[in-house]
Amino acid sequence: MLLPPSLATFLHGATTVQWIALAMTTAWKDIYGHRKAGKPEFTKDPSFFDASANGEQDIIRADKATHSRFRKVFSNSFCDRALKQQESLLKQHVNKLIRNLTDQAKKGSPVDMAKQYNFTTFDIMADLTFSESLGLLDGNDYNDWVRAIVNNWQFIVVMRMLKSYKKLFTIISRVLPKKWQEGRLKLFSYAVERVDRRLERGTTKSDIWDQMQQRDASITVSEMHANAEIFIIAGSETTATPLSGLTYYLLTNPDTMEKLKQEIRTACPTEEDITVERLQELKYLHACVEEGFRHYSPSVIGHVRIVPEKGAFVCGSWMPGGTKVSVPHYVAYHSPANFTRPHEFIPERWIDTDGEFASDKRDILQPFSYSPRNCISKNLAYHEIRVILASVLQKFDLKLRPECAHWNKQKVWVVYAKPALLCKLIPHRKESKIVDDCLRNVNIIS
């Protein structure tokens, strides 16, 4: 497939003769944005988005009308007002994380922060979805369900690749090991059991289903099952993954880490001071989170859409109907056409918008996708990341283990295949700082 030079300049590459990935800011609006009246949308690629285990549509895979219905049903559960009401639940799990880290710090053994973040986000999302924690922080280990989710990404990618070749997929799907198919159903059955248990209990505290029922939502139990699985997987990974990446990049940029710790510890001297509302006011924390998303987005590749049958313009160039298009997160966020010094971790680029980084195309950063189908749990992810990171850095100084110096060199299976992020944790004691300051003053006087 020959492409005009003006378009080829901006391509990440054609992964098949019909799939074009574009790393331009305008691509988000052209591909994923709202369509003008009468114009068809760029539909999701069915081979990229596998069907749910029970065949029902969910908020990710749904057609336009069903997605709109789901969005209306669940949006109330993820708005800022509802999430602020869940702040005590969020802090409850974060406090468990801090206790775990404190216990491990006392032992002097290295702590896998990537795993601890996973424990925390899965427990939080399960509590929000089922009104019951998975107990990962209590047991300090994965249960069978979460372990299966974490290990399932490789299988998902292989199946996606095979689906691009229909005849080959038809043949191979007949000889797939039975345990693979059974494993997929077992994953889904965990979500079904927990939803059913939650519905049998009735409303005991505010969660997704309680908020949904307050809106008198028209949604079937089967649709609840399909969506619950999505909430657990997507709602956990979109937080744990960028948290792990952000922690690594802070540890490998010590000046940035010190500046962030200073901001957090000054604004939030006690754990009671760490609130959703107060953390939203911390400009450097926000800049670090944005830069963390730029370097280590929850998704690396772009969500594939299909150009409408009659064709459409994308980034000023005509695309024939049926062409697969996407915005690849990693490439878009590391392109020198979009960011100055793109491979450096520089949170200041999100604050100093008139200086060296004035030409940065900040609007290209859309880690939760764009417009009507962006991730519904975006606000939750930002709140979790800020509260978890601020709580950790308020209590501890972290040092990266030498064997994790190149932790960011990883394989990718839809999401990053995160290896252990081993850190030494040193409890931060304000009292020690006061003593040091006093001794320093004595030395100056003498």
Query: Would you list which residues are annotated within the binding site for heme?
Result: 375
Residue 315 sits at φ, ψ, to 5 deg, of 55, 35
Structure tokens at 346: 């520089």
Return left, alpha or beta for 371; rule: phi > 0 is left, psi -120 to 50 is alpha, else beta. left
Strands 111-112 and 312-314 come out as unpaired
Structure tokens that stand for 102 in this block: 């404190």
For 79, residues 6+ apart whose C-beta sits below 8 A from its C-beta are 379
Q: Which residues are annotated as a binding site?
A: 375
CA angle 82, 87, 89 (to 5 degrees): 105
262-270, long-range: CB within 8 Å, 24+ apart, which pairs?
264/390, 264/393, 264/394, 265/393, 265/394, 265/428, 268/390, 268/394, 269/430
Q: Is the distance from CB of 425 to CB of 111 less than 8 angstroms?
A: yes
Residue 357's alpha-carbon distances to 82, 245, 248, 287, 340, in angstroms, are: 36, 22, 23, 13, 6
Q: What are residue 353's phi and psi, to 5 degrees?
A: -85, -5
- Asked if 21 and 11 touch (Cβ cutoff 8 Å), the reply is yes
Identify the CA nearest to 292 among candidates 247, 331, 337, 233.
247
